[in-house]
Structure 1
């Protein structure tokens, strides 16, 4: 079978240990957390002190250190200290259900649980330590561990099909490469960056490490702003935020909130989206038309392979495609396209090899064998690849995301892309959000159905919407029904929960 390969030459990435040891040589603010500002020398001293506390607690290279609490400077300091002693950092989002947190803590076999505030209820018998603030520690000398690119830097838990989260270990090789690339790829390496992502998502590391590698400033966003786009706009302006990472759906909400706002007050120079297929809606295009100095990047990756590709949108925003490509691979990353049909060699499952690849899942040998498979030597000499489960297409040297393989839709024998339907619905007046999903109404009978949220006081005319779609899409792509809902269900990361949408629609089609 012929496999298409895309490749970008690697860069020389400094290891995180070197970056941590050099923090004190820099000037300027490193972390802003509310009323507190830590400059680089202060952060350096604090991290060394925290590392000393970890060593005193018996933590050694190769151990795992779990960290929980509110998003804060303490969490950042704990992550850097954990890395500096050669242990793997395991973030446990305190917003998760207790049973989930207990499973994660036990599964990762943490040598120590670090926490902000009071000792958490889920800690059980695990040894624990409140994260001391700056100045609460005895002085500690710097550690000089040799850089080991294969040593796990962090373990992050992602949802499992069984309902039990699974831990994925990412090595320094992967994250050092990503952080160094992020620093170099941005409009400036020292941007003032919002820390928007929840601590249990891999974008958190891109925000924090991509900023610290470049000498920028990480500004902790108050949690209450995650679902208040109007207040978020004020905070972005007040804090002079220059770089923002967020899911596409959050950008859509921000763009809608900004419709009547004075965007000249914003300092934004770069916006990055990831986590789901980007839909360039009219509000998003208008948002960037009004900020011509702000660059817009579409990122793609998984917990199992960190950051994989990037596409920077260029030209007038009005000309941007509704479904932009996910782009080309990061340095040191090789992408393989395994075709499903020999007649379509450039359409198939996306496989990832090279720098972004994780060590694998914790305590999941069968899943590792299923998803991280040996492959014949690739054009770049790789022999192991992660099977993403994503269906993609190569067009003009760029990767275009089509769908999940387990959600591939064929209607009357014709492949249909529900995301294209989403995009066309979003182009219609009065539609704020739209999701089209396949619904199996009976054995062998699959239909497309859609739900939308509407702008204030906007009535739903489903027949008119279907007629508008008929002007843009083939008959197989027209949803059988279009329903209005007050709001979309969300995953913990803020993405629209397409599975929940499909299940709710199925319940109306086939009531129990």
Structure 2
């Protein structure tokens, strides 16, 4: 039951529109550097002129308020300008990761109803033939007035696609009110507002908006990381030093890789980091991470929690000597404007599913009314009465006024910071020739700190299935992180007494 007494309230949120905050940053420091990439740097005046130019091009191409605009291509300063341009006209930004398979991108483009595709590189061959495409224009040499739409907390600001159990991803809409609250909190919550923030997150990961808006709303600088450094921790560490990066947002696995790289570096005195924020999966304080922050006494580690459906929910700053940090830190307390509830059982009222209410809650799933009815509900707040809320599917414990993450309740997991729905992969496996009506994907954690997807399948009588070819087929539809490392043919899939597939038993059989 959802007991109002088992809840935490983050206090009143700041309703200031992020457009107002960005305009204030530009007015206060027009010549300050707002954006940096490999090709150059852009002041607040020049960046907002660029956003205005993009917005004018969108309007000339018939884009109006609340229309969807898909953005794809390599990550550069133009990506940020494209996002700001879409937001300027009041359209809905739809990020399409160019590394996704064409079929998956085509589905997202069709499902979103995007009126136009913006590309930061050559116009891609991913459009359906009916959707107009446009390359993001270069920054203008003239200073153009930035005239964004009027602030409206109900205006959809982006649609982001997350894993779905049907075999296709599902779109989640976020409105201005949600991002306004997050952006205001972020730049005030950090050690100081005008930080140089490394833009590490992929375009289709909601942390991208936190990096960009949490910087620009406070007068800071966004430094776009070259894509080549994503899996090069030594190169990333050098880049952090050379670009004087002060704030990072990264999933636990990336942080662990960075910390391991730092162990090979004798001197970290040139590292300017003052804050590292981690999100997307359970943070584990490994010996390498403890050593990293011990060697950076001026840098704090902050554990964030949220999901596509409820953006930023809670935060926890790790305090005291890193050597004494818990192995599994809590996810903390709710942000201002957010209230969390524990849907607990009578056996233990402090343990249950986490329910999120207030500003972080999204608009819901696009085109999935039944799923919206199942995951979104109304809860009774002792402070403000009925509130729209979201069932996270995460099991948590409330202890001493702080939320501790325990596990997932459903079949969604995080692999390298990316949310993966195991049932979605099951669905694609079952759709392949020769695969019988039994398939199960599971997370193998045989190597500590490493999560690997593996799959077990059964095949039709007399069928011969080439598992390497099967993996290659999945690679044409699923993102790389969701393709099982191995696929094994089994005589049958073990099941629990209730008839469900026993993934733990399958994991044991695959080792």
The TM-score, its normalising length taken from structure 1, stands at: 0.80
Contact (CA 8 Å) 1:237, 1:267: kept in 2 or not? yes
* Stretch deviating more after TM superposition (259-268 or 189-198): 259-268
Residue 165 of structure 2 corresponds to residue 165 of structure 1: no
Structure 1 partner of 2:131: 126
Matches within 5 A, 1:239-250: 239-250=243-254
Structure 2 partner of 1:39: 43
Structure 2 partner of 1:257: 261
Q: 1:391 to 1:48 in 2, by over 3 A?
A: same
Distance (whole Å) between structure 2 residues aligned to residue 119 and residue 342 of structure 1: 57
Structure 2 partner of 1:205: 209
Q: 1:144 to 1:236 in 2, by over 3 A?
A: closer
Structure 2: 5+ residue runs without aligned partners?
A: 415-421, 423-441, 451-477, 489-501
Contact (CA 8 Å) 2:8, 2:333: kept in 1 or not? yes
Structure 1: 5+ residue runs without aligned partners?
A: 409-417, 420-436, 438-446, 456-490
Match of 2:447 among 445, 452, 468: 452
Matches within 5 A, 1:313-462: 313-339=318-344, 341-406=345-410, 450-452=445-447
Distance (whole Å) between structure 1 residues aligned to residue 110 and residue 59 of structure 2: 21
Q: SS at the partner of 2:126?
A: helix
Structure 1 partner of 2:284: 279
Structure 1 partner of 2:69: 65
Structure 2 partner of 1:464: none
Structure 2 partner of 1:506: 506
Structure 2 partner of 1:289: 294
Distance (whole Å) between structure 1 residues aligned to residue 299 and residue 124 of structure 2: 41
User: 1:209 deviation in Å?
Assistant: 0.6
User: 1:370 deviation in Å?
Assistant: 1.0
Matches within 5 A, 1:86-165: 86-123=90-127, 124-135=129-140, 141-165=145-169
Structure 2 partner of 1:478: none
Q: SS at the partner of 1:78?
A: helix
The TM-score, its normalising length taken from structure 2, stands at: 0.81
Distance (whole Å) between structure 1 residues aligned to residue 307 and residue 15 of structure 2: 21
Where in structure 1 do 4 or more consecutive aligned residues deviate above 6 Å?
493-505
Q: SS at the partner of 1:298?
A: strand
User: 1:449 deviation in Å?
Assistant: 7.4
Over the aligned positions, Cα root-mean-square deviation in angstroms equals 3.0
* Stretch deviating more after TM superposition (61-70 or 369-378): 369-378
Match of 1:233 among 234, 237, 259: 237
Distance (whole Å) between structure 1 residues aligned to residue 59 and residue 144 of structure 2: 10
Distance (whole Å) between structure 2 residues aligned to residue 317 and residue 187 of structure 1: 18
Q: SS at the partner of 1:206?
A: helix
User: 1:406 deviation in Å?
Assistant: 2.8
Contact (CA 8 Å) 1:353, 1:382: kept in 2 or not? no
Q: SS at the partner of 1:353?
A: strand
User: 1:383 deviation in Å?
Assistant: 2.8
Contact (CA 8 Å) 2:51, 2:146: kept in 1 or not? no
Distance (whole Å) between structure 2 residues aligned to residue 448 and residue 235 of structure 1: 33
Distance (whole Å) between structure 2 residues aligned to residue 407 and residue 113 of structure 1: 33
Structure 2 partner of 1:471: none
* Stretch deviating more after TM superposition (271-280 or 123-132): 123-132
Distance (whole Å) between structure 2 residues aligned to residue 492 and residue 158 of structure 1: 11
Distance (whole Å) between structure 2 residues aligned to residue 63 and residue 310 of structure 1: 33
Contact (CA 8 Å) 1:298, 1:312: kept in 2 or not? yes
Higher relative contact order (CA 8 A, sep 6+): 2
Q: 1:492 to 1:192 in 2, by over 3 A?
A: farther
Contact (CA 8 Å) 1:49, 1:139: kept in 2 or not? no
What do residues 77-107 of structure 1 show as CA deviations (whole Å, max 9, x unaligned)?
1111111111111111111110010000000
Q: 1:276 to 1:496 in 2, by over 3 A?
A: farther
Distance (whole Å) between structure 2 residues aligned to residue 59 and residue 177 of structure 1: 26
Contact (CA 8 Å) 1:5, 1:379: kept in 2 or not? no
Q: 1:287 to 1:494 in 2, by over 3 A?
A: farther
Structure 1 partner of 2:8: 6
Contact (CA 8 Å) 1:393, 1:399: kept in 2 or not? yes
Residue 317 of structure 2 corresponds to residue 312 of structure 1: yes
Distance (whole Å) between structure 2 residues aligned to residue 288 and residue 245 of structure 1: 15
Q: 1:125 to 1:114 in 2, by over 3 A?
A: same
What do residues 447-480 of structure 1 show as CA deviations (whole Å, max 9, x unaligned)?
997411699xxxxxxxxxxxxxxxxxxxxxxxxx
Structure 2 partner of 1:268: 273
Distance (whole Å) between structure 2 residues aligned to residue 162 and residue 337 of structure 1: 28
